[in-house]
Amino acid sequence: MIQNNYFTDNADLMLYFNELVDWDEIVRAYEGDDFADAQKYKETGDEHLAFAPSSVDEAVEFYRATLESLGELTGNEVAQRARSMDQTGLKYDAGRVIFPEDSLTLFQMFRDAGLIPYNIKRQYGGLGMPASVNGIYNEILTRGDTAFTMTLALLNLAKIVVRYGTEEQKQSFVTRMAAGEFTGAMALTEPNYGSDLSNVRTKAVKQSDGTYRLSGTKRFISQGCGIGETPCILLTLARTGTPTSGARGLSLFIVKSTDVQIAGIEHKMGIHASPTCEVVFEDSPAEIVGEEGFGLTRYSMGMMNDARVTVAALGVGIGNAAYFEGLKYATEREQFGKTIDQIPAVKRMLDHMRREIFAMRLLTGEAARAVDLYLHRQMRMEKSGMAERDIRKDEDIRHWDKTASLFTPLSKYYCSETGVTLASEGMQIHGGSGYTEEYDVARIYRDSRINTVYEGTTQLQVVAAIGGITAGMSANGFFRKYINDELARFSASDGLKELLAMLEHAITTYRSIEDGAVRDGNAFEVVEVATRFLCCLLFERALDRASEASRAQIRPLYRQYMIDSVAIAQADTYRLKMAATAEEPAAV
């Protein structure tokens, strides 16, 4: 892997950070207009709040310094150990998972550097950064290694306890997770039910002292064993209601990995240094998070937007890894008297990779922005004791919550699928060498595939998005309001207007399909058109925000991206037309 600072060596990422993010909006959404943490530090001297910013500029400089440190550690340490960790892999021996030494070394390095708790509030030892920064964090780290990224990303599940747990739980578990004394895992999936979480069968029985005992089995639990000698906190979905009570009978629990059995680990095609565990609960002691009955409907699903943004960012990181490794190889490999980056077919792939990464980053950033613009305001209201019904009446929260619930599945689907495509192109650039384990691109390709599966498959993301698109584009819908608000900021190109018209037509055609199964089977076409339109809108907003010098870099990327998008949208609308009319193609 290339050895460099994976933040500062990426010119497009630096352009995005420096010019394309409205940091004033994001920082104030996270900190509040009063920068309450900084004020509290002045009043109390609480060292947890020592780095709390008192202005937007201070916050941005803190983000920049953190990402520079992360980029340095990722490019010079994580990336250089990635192949070794992958080839050594994990071993399972009598209930114990044995990690590569490099994995343990890196975990200790990140713990010593204070870079682990990026998604945890300052009050409990975290770095206290918004989703808009966390997306960049995961992009950088994943360029180094997807498997190690999983270790840190899952640890930040502690934010669920921060939001819904008791103060005692926050002090007992969250502070220790922030310090790297526990890792984290989400124990939802069961062997027989997969994504059908409403049918979870793991049983929780309340004890006389108010604690619970859990019995059951969970499968495909990433990092469920902890790492090395560091145990794990399993946030576990279990049934407190009757077997027929569905989602309303499920509650969320804190369980230590020292109180469960690891029955085995999966042997996977990729992410070889990230354990995927089968976890057995046998009368395991547990503490409930929040109230009974809200484990799935409120607590687990409430964190879904964050999880989707994280996986979208992993897709961007995979794309970066494939692109930079492919570019390095192409500029060094000579064929027919010239380096292969000068061969039109290879240059075409490299150009495609770069513009797709740019679009993926814009989309992931916008999904993160939507999360930031509702979540932190909502949490402040919850902390103040405001009733939930009153919080739901807040117009800004309602709008951005709905927007996030659409943009996060769009970004998760698009970036995970495109990450696989770019990893394939990166391997193709390497030719036969790319198919061997001599080059890192083989591992990158293998690792890319998981992103389309976990945290909800691509197909589930389409199901999650289609209703938001069709309802959101109604006369007074939230998606239409978002589009109108954004288009009011700049003058849209004819191409963007054409794409918007194609989106409108795709939705109308989709709605006209009478057969429900046929309609559902063509939801992807509508989702793809909506995603390409949204990415083009974000490209044009980027052109509006960027400096003149930066526009010169963005324009050629956008021109070809628009051509690609119109062609894809035309194909999608044709498929929808055929589905709606049941016509035979002219050539048949």
Sign of the four-CA dihedral 382, 384, 388, 394: negative
Q: What is the pLDDT of residue 300?
A: 84
533: which residues sit within 8 A by CB, 6+ positions away? 496, 499, 500, 502, 503, 565, 569
pLDDT digits (tens, 9 = 90+) for 499-528: 999 999 999 999 999 999 999 999 999 999
Give the three-state DSSP class for 343: coil
Cα–Cα distances in Å, from 322 out to 91, 155, 329, 421, 496?
Answer: 28, 26, 11, 10, 29
- Is the pLDDT assigned to residue 320 strictly greater than 90? yes
Q: Which 8-state DSSP code applies to residue 246? A: G
Q: Which two tokens stand for residue 9?
A: 């060596």
The residue count for the chain: 588
pLDDT digits (tens, 9 = 90+) for 535-572: 999 999 999 999 999 999 999 999 999 999 999 999 99
- What is the mean pLDDT of the segment spanning 441-445? 98
Q: Which domains does the chain have, with CATH numbers?
A: 11-157+303-452 (1.20.140.10), 167-173+180-293 (2.40.110.20), 458-581 (1.20.120)
Q: Which two tokens stand for residue 243?
A: 């077997």
Q: What is the pLDDT of residue 79?
A: 98
Q: What single letter denotes the amino acid at residue 130?
A: P
Range from 47-61, 195-209, 325-339, 439-453 carrying the lowest mean pLDDT? 195-209
pLDDT digits (tens, 9 = 90+) for 420-438: 999 999 999 999 999 999 9
Q: Which two tokens stand for residue 298?
A: 């409120």
Range from 102-111, 176-185, 390-399, 577-586 carrying the lowest mean pLDDT? 577-586
Q: What is the pLDDT of residue 173?
A: 95
Compute the distance between CA of residue 324 and CA of residue 353 in angstroms, rounded to an integer.
Answer: 10
Residue 586 confidence class, pLDDT cut points 50, 70, 90: low
Percent with pLDDT over 90 in the chain: 91
Residue 219 confidence class, pLDDT cut points 50, 70, 90: very high
- Is the pLDDT assigned to residue 195 strictly greater than 70? no
Residue 241 confidence class, pLDDT cut points 50, 70, 90: confident
Compute the distance between CA of residue 559 and CA of residue 467 in angstroms, rounded to an integer.
Answer: 30
Give the three-state DSSP class for 7: coil
Compute the distance between CA of residue 32 and CA of residue 43 in angstroms, rounded to an integer.
Answer: 17
- Is the pLDDT assigned to residue 193 strictly greater than 90? no
Q: How many CA atoms lie within 13 A of 506 on its CB side?
A: 31
- Nearest CA-CA partner of 40 in 29, 51, 30: 51
pLDDT digits (tens, 9 = 90+) for 280-313: 999 999 999 999 999 988 888 778 899 999 999 9
Compute the distance between CA of residue 10 and CA of residue 285 in angstroms, rounded to an integer.
Answer: 47
- What is the mean pLDDT of the segment spanning 460-481? 97
Q: Are 260 and 234 in contact (CB under 8 A)?
A: yes
Q: How many CB atoms lie within 10 A of CB 19?
A: 15
User: How many helices (H) does the chain have, and how many strands (E)?
Assistant: 23, 11
Sign of the four-CA dihedral 55, 57, 62, 63: positive
Active site residues: 455
Q: What single letter denotes the amino acid at residue 441?
A: V
Q: Which 8-state DSSP code applies to residue 514? A: -
What average pLDDT does the chain have?
95
Give the three-state DSSP class for 385: coil
Residue 62 confidence class, pLDDT cut points 50, 70, 90: very high
Q: How many CB atoms lie within 10 A of CB 42?
A: 11
pLDDT digits (tens, 9 = 90+) for 334-367: 998 999 999 999 999 999 999 999 999 999 999 9
Compute the distance between CA of residue 185 and CA of residue 194 in angstroms, rounded to an integer.
Answer: 16
Q: What is the pLDDT of residue 187?
A: 94
Q: What string of H, E and C letters represents the secondary structure of 35-82?
A: CHHHHHHHHHCCHHHCCCCCCHHHHHHHHHHHHHHHHHHHHHHHHHHH
Percent with pLDDT over 70 in the chain: 98
What backbone torsions phi and psi does residue 583 show, to the nearest 5 degrees? -75, 155
> What one-character-per-residue DSSP string does 432-467 give?
GGGGSTTSTHHHHHHHHGGGGTTTS-HHHHHHHHHH
Q: Are 573 and 505 in contact (CB under 8 A)?
A: yes
Q: What is the pLDDT of residue 138?
A: 98
Q: What is the pLDDT of residue 198?
A: 75
Q: Which 8-state DSSP code applies to residue 248? A: G
Q: Are 275 and 263 in contact (CB under 8 A)?
A: no
Give the three-state DSSP class for 133: helix
pLDDT digits (tens, 9 = 90+) for 169-183: 999 999 999 999 999
Residue 588 confidence class, pLDDT cut points 50, 70, 90: low
149: which residues sit within 8 A by CB, 6+ positions away? 138, 141, 142, 314, 317
- What is the mean pLDDT of the segment spanning 471-489? 96
Compute the distance between CA of residue 208 and CA of residue 330 in angstroms, rounded to an integer.
Answer: 67
- What is the mean pLDDT of the segment spanning 152-175? 93
Q: Are 257 and 286 in contact (CB under 8 A)?
A: no
Within 384-457, residue ranges assigned H as helices are: 388-391, 395-429, 441-448
- Is the pLDDT assigned to residue 194 strictly greater than 90? no
Compute the distance between CA of residue 172 and CA of residue 167 in angstroms, rounded to an integer.
Answer: 9
Within 89-130, residue ranges assigned H as helices are: 101-113
Compute the distance between CA of residue 459 and CA of residue 521 in angstroms, rounded to an integer.
Answer: 10
pLDDT digits (tens, 9 = 90+) for 129-149: 999 999 999 999 999 999 999
- Is the pLDDT assigned to residue 583 strictly greater than 80? no
